[in-house]
Amino acid sequence: TLLCVGDFGDEPRKELAIRYSSDSTDPNWYRARRSDGQEGMIPANYVQKRSEVKLNAMPWFHGKIVRELAEELLHPRQDGLFLVRESTNYPGDYTLCVCFNQKVEHYRVIYKDNKLTIDEEEFFENLTQLVEHYEKDADGLCTQLKRSVPKKGSLDFSVDSKAFEMAGWVINKSDLKLGEVIGKGEFGDVVLGNLRGQKVAVKTLKDSSKAAQQFLAEASVMTSLRHPNLVQMIGVVFDWPSVYLVTEFMGKGSLVDYLRSRGRLHVTKKDQINFACDTCAAMAYLESKKVVHRDLAARNVLISDEATAKVSDFGLARDESFNQEGGKFPIKWTAPEALRHSKFSNKSDMWSFGILLWEIYSFGRVPYPRIPLADVVQHVEKGYRMEAPEGCPPEVYEIMRKAWDLQPELRPTFSDVLKSLEHLRTSTTG
């Protein structure tokens, strides 16, 4: 898939997401199809190829460890042995710990105007850039960085604006107009935007270095994923100290609000099975890519003007081999093994999908309505399961029950569940 900036026919020039083929005899022209289905030829220079944005591993970043533990880890004290940790004295800042002359020097890494700096002369977008700079040259430090102490367990990652630029995802700030606030995101407000005449949703970033990296990590995950039932990323705007993530606009809002505001009078059985199939199709795609969502719920599924459901909010999405430590997880939607042992997988997503199905068929009620939040996990582990919502087809409730098996390996796959739901869709009317 390419981004087309251009036009064909008599339409005004505008940005379009297109599928293309280069079967024209002239390599300077592409056959393109616009979002309304009209086809035509466009100049090759109107088309920009996009690629996936890769994350950089940070094996030397040890997160929240105290000064004493950092010094313990830095053995033997060879000049240039180093690690990076979160600052204990200055929350939001970092500390670079380096061995020199049998001692450990601790340099405060200051976070200022969305950049990182040690000396307020050299500024860096992320920790990876900072480390790479001092690996090449001591530049005022006691010594050049030579070898890191790698962290045990799951690693943290960084990403930078240049990677998005090189991969073709950067949008000029002048092309984007920001409107009213339409929601709250994990990192800041979500506002309605206008990108060269096209309505878009824009996630804005709260001012924090850590948030900036998480925000860009979310965006990088989105560059590798494309499915009709996933909210599509359009691009990223870098306007330091602000960063904006631009996605397609979903006119009918979140699934949970849609269900609650319309209720039984307006949401038909056909609508319900369509929403279930759409969401399951997106999750089967993520499963095939070995991507774990971690926060699947009706509030994170959005509805388009055409009433298509699309999964959104990849704020926590990661490859299944990574763990998120110390995150805040929505207890009623999260599988017991994920809550207890941080074991997130496509199978824990399946548990959440079972809860989402219950939300769809209860018209957006909050799960476990009669159980206090603090008691939910205990009840579930003892075998309690929610009853089928009124009017829920028995086949759908059966999927919920299988999704809520305490043993993750006994839960079905999304691709299997999709077959069952698609079969049910063909026989559902009204």
Which H or E run includes 277? helix 269-288
CATH 3.30.70.3270, domain 159-249, yes or no: no
Share of the chain above pLDDT 70, in %: 86
CATH 1.10.510.10, domain 254-429, yes or no: yes
| Residue 209 contacts residue 114 (beta carbons within 8 Å) | yes
Residue 329 has pLDDT above 70, yes or no: no
In the prediction, which pLDDT does 1 show? 44
In Å, how far are 57, 187, 196, 307, 401 from 349, measured between CA atoms?
25, 22, 37, 23, 14
In the prediction, which pLDDT does 207 show? 67
Q: What is the CATH number of domain 1-49?
A: 2.30.30.40
Residue 22 has pLDDT above 70, yes or no: no
Alpha carbon 420 to chain centroid distance? 28
Which H or E run includes 337? helix 336-341
Q: Dihedral through CA 76, CA 79, CA 83, CA 89, nearest 10?
A: 100
Q: List phi, psi (to 5°) of 241.
A: -85, 10
**Which of 1-10, 50-59, 182-191, 332-341 comes out lowest in average pLDDT?**
1-10
Rounded average pLDDT over 178-191? 89
Work out the angle between the directed axes of helices 269-288 and 414-426 (0-180°, nearest 10): 150
In the prediction, which pLDDT does 148 show? 97
| Residue 18 contacts residue 38 (beta carbons within 8 Å) | no
Residue 259 has pLDDT above 90, yes or no: yes
Q: How far apart are CA 215 and CA 210, in angstroms?
A: 9
For 98-115, what is each residue's pLDDT tens digit?
A: 999 999 999 999 988 778
Contacts of 30 (CB under 8 A, 6+ apart): 2, 20, 21, 22, 24, 41, 42, 43, 44, 47
Q: How far apart are CA 23 and CA 79, in angstroms?
A: 59
For 33-64, what is each residue's pLDDT tens digit?
A: 665 667 777 766 666 678 999 888 899 999 99
In Å, how far are 154, 285, 395 from 251, measured between CA atoms?
38, 23, 31
Pick the CATH number of 67-148 from 1.10.3720.10, 3.30.505.10, 3.30.420.10, 3.10.580.10: 3.30.505.10
Q: How far apart are CA 270 and CA 251, in angstroms?
A: 20
Q: Can you name the residues that pair with 301 across neighbouring β-strands?
A: 311
The ranges assigned to domains in the chain are: 1-49, 67-148, 159-249, 254-429
Of 23 and 36, more confident: 36
For 275-312, what is each residue's pLDDT tens digit?
A: 999 999 999 999 999 999 999 999 999 999 999 999 99
In Å, how far are 200, 233, 248 from 191, measured between CA atoms?
9, 15, 12
Measured from the Cβ of residue 78, the count of other Cβ atoms closer than 10 Å reads 13
Active site residue 7: no
| Residue 63 contacts residue 86 (beta carbons within 8 Å) | yes
Contacts of 104 (CB under 8 A, 6+ apart): 70, 71, 74, 77, 97, 98
In the prediction, which pLDDT does 195 show? 93
User: Which residues make up each annotated binding site for ATP?
Assistant: 203
- Band (pLDDT 50/70/90 cuts) for residue 153 is confident
* Selection from 344, 233, 331 nearest residue 290 by Cα: 344
Name the catalytic one among 295, 305, 319, 349.
Answer: 295
Report residue 125 as tokens: 């977008």
In the prediction, which pLDDT does 363 show? 98
Q: How far apart are CA 362 and CA 347, in angstroms?
A: 23
Q: Can you name the residues that pair with 86 across neighbouring β-strands?
A: 94
Of 184 and 399, more confident: 399
**Can you tell me whether residue 274 is helix, strand or coil?**
helix
Q: How far apart are CA 383 and CA 101, in angstroms?
A: 60
Burial of 343 from C-beta contacts in 10 A (0-12 / 13-18 / 19+): middle
Place of tokens 């200022």: 112
**Which of 128-142, 304-318, 321-335, 353-367 comes out lowest in average pLDDT?**
321-335
What is the pLDDT of the chain when averaged over all its residues?
88
